[in-house]
Amino acid sequence: FHAKGTIWGAPAIAENGTIYFSTWGAYHYFYSLNPNGTAKWLFAPGDSSTSSPSIGEDGTIYFGDDDGSIYALYPIGTEKWQYITGDMVMGSPAIGPDGTIYIGSCDNYLYALYPNGTLRWRYSTGSDIKGSASIADDGTIYVPSFNGYFYALNPNATLKWQASTGSSVAAAGVALAADGTIYVGTEQ
């Protein structure tokens, strides 16, 4: 399948094999492909996207956009809701066990949204959040920030701890190992 635009983020694959991804550049679309590689539908967000999508248990597709929006789409390709942040949304959404969507923005905030698209809370790291957050089994939300710090938040938006990474954490996400080890990449 040849998409228009550059594909920056990784695709997401639904249980039924449907493939979802977005493109960046002059041609910016969000694509849905059948498992055989044929186009199912496409959605035109407000701008380009480098965000990899995430799929909720009910099949809702979530992704961020350079226009500062967080989009939720029904599996048939229509918009369920749009939440507007103060700047680009480059990271991928992390979905908690209760359905809460966690996603950072370049407006310095990590957003926690209810599945209906309303704000649960937001937490400022004081700098761009370009990478993706991750959620541990105990509910801790790990957030990389461009200010050279890495944050661990409780599910109620209180700071558990923060650590210096020595360098900006830009587009890198957070990986959590089964033994509890946290991996995060930096610019240096």
148 versus 123: the higher-pLDDT residue is 123
10 versus 111: the higher-pLDDT residue is 111
The 10s digit of each residue's pLDDT in 80-115 is: 999 999 999 998 999 999 999 999 999 999 999 999
Confidence tier at 50 by pLDDT (50, 70, 90):
confident
Distance CA 71, CA 29 (A): 12
Distance CA 34, CA 57 (A): 19
Quote the mean pLDDT of the chain.
91
Distance CA 165, CA 144 (A): 9
| φ and ψ of 30, to 5 deg | -110, 125
Burial 37-47 (b: 16+ CB within 10 A, else e): eeeeeebebee
Confidence tier at 19 by pLDDT (50, 70, 90):
very high
Confidence tier at 172 by pLDDT (50, 70, 90):
low
Confidence tier at 170 by pLDDT (50, 70, 90):
low
Q: Which of 40-54, 115-129, 161-175 has the highest mean pLDDT?
A: 115-129
